[in-house]
Amino acid sequence: MPKEQANWSPYDNNGGSCFAVAGADYCVIAADTRMSTGYNILTRDTQKSVNYKCVMASSGFQADVKALQKHLAARHLIYQHQHNKQMSCPAMAQLLSNTLYYKRFFPYYSFNVLGGLDNEGKGCVFTYDAVGSYEKVGYSSQGSGSTLIMPFLDNQLKSPSPLLLPARDAVTPLAEAEAIDLVKTVFASASERDIYTGDKLEIVVINADGIRREYMDLRKD
């Protein structure tokens, strides 16, 4: 007798892309603002990123993304009460990984990139899968447009292999303004071919002066 299949899924994919790149003293995190389901657009103006001292951008199932963000916000508050300071980027990275793995057998359908400055002020980007496997990298993209974005970044940013010895720095030598230009180019191109990416681009830049947000329009079709 053929196995019975479920006639509904607890997950949905709301599409979208997100991306982060680390520089010598800055970090740029970007995500589009389109939320879709199937071939329809739900909203052109959603926020996929959230701030602590570092910024997390997520794509995938937005309900799980929201739940994950709320969870981390609560844990971050507890940390601040106990330690009298905000969580550093590496600390948040580990917390996110643990939180994701906690739901290993009913995962958060959320593909995340976490970007910020490490304890020395250098940019750092962490990239995750849905169950918390993570790695510190120089740049990363997740979401529906990542298949279009990643190869382009590999070509432009030429990150050294993490297997090389002595360990090479993964951060890009680009200046902050150049990195932001790169982000804009990348998303503009992704919006051309990926139907789930578009509307508006939210860019968050973290540097020694703090965190600032910028917006750029993308194709609306």
Partner 1 sequence: MFRNQYDTDVTTWSPAGRLFQVEYAMEAVKQGSAAIGLRSKTHVVLGCVNKANSELSSHQKKIFKVDDHIGVAIAGLTADGRVLSRYMRNECINYSFTYESPLPVGRLVVQLADKAQVCTQRSWKRPYGVGLLVAGLDESGAHLYYNCPSGNYFEYQAFAIGSRSQAAKTYLERRFENFTDSSRDDLVKDAITAIRETLQGETLKSSICTIAVVGVGEPFHVLDQGTVQQIIDTFEIAAEQEDPATEPDAATGQEAATEQGTAADQGGSTDEGAAPMDI
Structure tokens at 97: 């990984």
Size of the site for partner 1 (CB under 8 A): 5
Options 20-28, 33-41, 45-53, 74-82: segment touching partner 1 (CB under 8 A): 74-82
Spatial separation of the C-alpha atoms in residues 184 and 15, rounded to whole Å = 19
Interaction of residue 83 with partner 1, rule CB under 8 A: no
**Sign of the four-CA dihedral 75, 107, 186, 42:** negative
Interaction of residue 70 with partner 1, rule CB under 8 A: yes
Among 10, 43, 45, 78, binds partner 1 (CB under 8 A): 78
Phi, psi at residue 195, to the nearest 5°?
-70, -20
The overall longest dimension of the chain from CA atoms, in Å, is 64
Among 10, 43, 45, 74, binds partner 1 (CB under 8 A): 74
Options 73-81, 107-115, 126-134, 210-218: segment touching partner 1 (CB under 8 A): 73-81
Interaction of residue 77 with partner 1, rule CB under 8 A: yes
Residue closer to partner 1, measured from CB, 102 or 152 = 102
Residue closer to partner 1, measured from CB, 3 or 81 = 81
Among 2, 6, 9, 81, binds partner 1 (CB under 8 A): 81
Residue closer to partner 1, measured from CB, 74 or 175 = 74
Residue given tokens 């940390």 in the structure block: 79
CB of 168 to partner 1, least distance (A): 41
CB of 76 to partner 1, least distance (A): 10
Interaction of residue 85 with partner 1, rule CB under 8 A: no
Interaction of residue 175 with partner 1, rule CB under 8 A: no
Binding footprint of partner 1 on the chain (CB under 8 A): 70, 74, 77-78, 81
